[in-house]
């Protein structure tokens, strides 16, 4: 859809070049019967440039493309009115670009879920402390399979994770009977605080859906908006907070294992050995203590995380039910020197059967990276 919008805007911009060509005599344009003064020719040129800039910003996924689009529409419609007899059909293109610009404001502007996500992240990155190194001695108190997993990932000797940024793509659904929705997502975790911010862009049919998960100050929430404006879900409360506490633990173990070297994180954890391929972990945060069974393979890779402490939300976020939750993962590969999972899925073990509700791929990971 963005490609079509960029092409429409670019073509509309190029058509505007007929205005200065007529005004300054650059070309014979008998199809333009209305005269265009040099002053209006300059306005036509500015409108053309604004449209072309908008097209470039859309094509490069700039977050501010909607500003250029609204400016371009204002300039374009002004010159259309000035030459209404010849240019009136340009109003149709302007209306389409205006709709796109207004959607851009809703989805990227200061009141959007994406903007809220960015503000929360940026405020924490400003004062992020310098990380210490993960000490090998920190592995001694861990169950053997957990210690071997951390060695396998390459964590010892590397900086402890103060924050991490991950990018995902995949598909998601609410129940086995619903259609899958394709999505891309970005998240930031701050394990020591702890805080987690997860922003997803999905698509239901041809309509965009925005999702924002927030965990901060010991509380969690999830909001879902259709067309970046229509609220579909606003889930919060103790069940949501407990569920997201499990997710915090899952994130740390699957793709931010160097966070286990932080003293604040270690103080919230306790471990039970099971055997050479599994261990139990317990994570206390405020009133919640959640736990999970960790399963490892012969290569010391963590291949599953199973917890009975997570809640599934209803489609509108108003009700919660406690089901077993697991996240089998695979596809270990290098992420900036760390060997971590790259693919996985989330499973709900419901009373009437197990079903995957999310399938995802980790496409990028930065630990303690610079602010974006």
Q: How far apart are CA 315 and CA 295, in angstroms?
A: 30
Q: Give pLDDT, residue 370.
A: 64
DSSP 161: -
139 half-sphere exposure, CB direction, 13 A CA radius: 20
DSSP codes of every residue in 82-150 = HTHHHHTTHHHHHHHHHHHHHHHHHHHSTTSHHHHHHHHHHHHHTTPPPP-BPPGGGGTTS-HHHHHHH
1 half-sphere exposure, CB direction, 13 A CA radius: 10
Q: Which residues of the chain have pLDDT under 70?
A: 1, 128, 370-372
Longest distance between any two alpha carbons in the chain, whole Å: 86
- 157 backbone φψ class: left, alpha, beta (φ>0; ψ -120 to 50): left
What's the pTM value of the predicted model, to 2 decimals?
Answer: 0.89
Q: Give pLDDT, residue 128.
A: 67
Query: What are 189's strand-pairing partners?
Result: 164, 196
End-to-end Cα separation, the chain, in angstroms: 26
Q: Pairing relation of β-strands 230-236 and 320-322? A: unpaired
List pLDDT tens digits, range 191-204: 999 999 999 999 88
Q: Give pLDDT, residue 31.
A: 76
- The average confidence (pLDDT) of the chain is 93
62 half-sphere exposure, CB direction, 13 A CA radius: 16
Q: Give pLDDT, residue 287.
A: 87
Q: Give pLDDT, residue 116.
A: 96
Residue 313 near residue 235, CB atoms below 8 Å = yes
Structural domains in the chain? 2-108 (no CATH), 136-367 (2.50.20)
Q: What is the 3-state secondary structure (H, E, C) of 329-347?
A: EECCEEECCEEECCEEEEE
């Amino acid at each position: 859809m963005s490609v079509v919008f960029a092409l429409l805007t670019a073509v509309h911009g190029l058509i505007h070049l007929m205005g200065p060509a007529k005004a300054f005599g650059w070309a014979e344009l008998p199809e333009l019967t209305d005269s265009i003064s040099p002053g209006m020719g300059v306005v036509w040129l500015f409108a053309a440039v604004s449209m072309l800039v908008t097209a470039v910003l859309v094509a490069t996924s700039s977050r501010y493309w909607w500003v250029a689009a609204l400016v371009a529409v204002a300039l374009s419609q002004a010159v259309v009115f000035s030459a209404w007899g010849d240019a009136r059909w340009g109003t149709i293109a302007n209306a389409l670009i205006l709709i796109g610009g207004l959607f851009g404001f809703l989805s990227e502007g200061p009141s959007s879920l994406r903007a809220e996500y960015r503000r929360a992240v940026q405020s924490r990155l400003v004062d992020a402390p310098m990380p210490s190194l993960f000490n090998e001695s920190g592995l001694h108190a861990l169950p053997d399979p957990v210690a071997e997993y951390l060695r396998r990932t390459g964590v010892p000797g590397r900086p402890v994770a103060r924050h991490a940024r991950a990018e995902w793509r995949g598909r998601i659904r609410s129940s086995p009977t619903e259609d899958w929705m394709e999505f891309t997502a970005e998240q930031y975790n701050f394990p020591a605080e702890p805080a987690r911010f997860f922003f997803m862009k999905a698509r239901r049919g041809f309509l965009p859906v925005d999702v924002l998960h927030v965990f901060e100050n010991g509380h969690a929430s999830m909001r879902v908006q259709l067309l970046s404006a229509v609220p579909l879900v606003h889930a919060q409360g103790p069940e949501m907070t407990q569920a997201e506490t499990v997710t915090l633990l899952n994130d740390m173990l699957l793709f931010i294992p160097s966070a286990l070297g932080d003293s604040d994180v270690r103080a919230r954890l306790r471990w039970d050995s099971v055997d050479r391929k599994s261990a139990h972990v317990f994570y206390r945060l405020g009133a919640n203590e959640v736990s999970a069974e960790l399963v490892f393979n012969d290569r010391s890779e963590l291949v599953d995380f199973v917890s009975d402490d997570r809640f599934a939300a209803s489609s509108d976020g108003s009700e919660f039910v406690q089901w077993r939750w697991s996240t089998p993962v695979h596809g270990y590969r290098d992420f900036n020197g760390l060997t971590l999972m790259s693919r996985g899925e989330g499973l709900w073990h419901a009373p009437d059967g197990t079903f995957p509700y999310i399938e995802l791929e980790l496409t990028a990971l930065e630990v303690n990276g610079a602010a974006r």
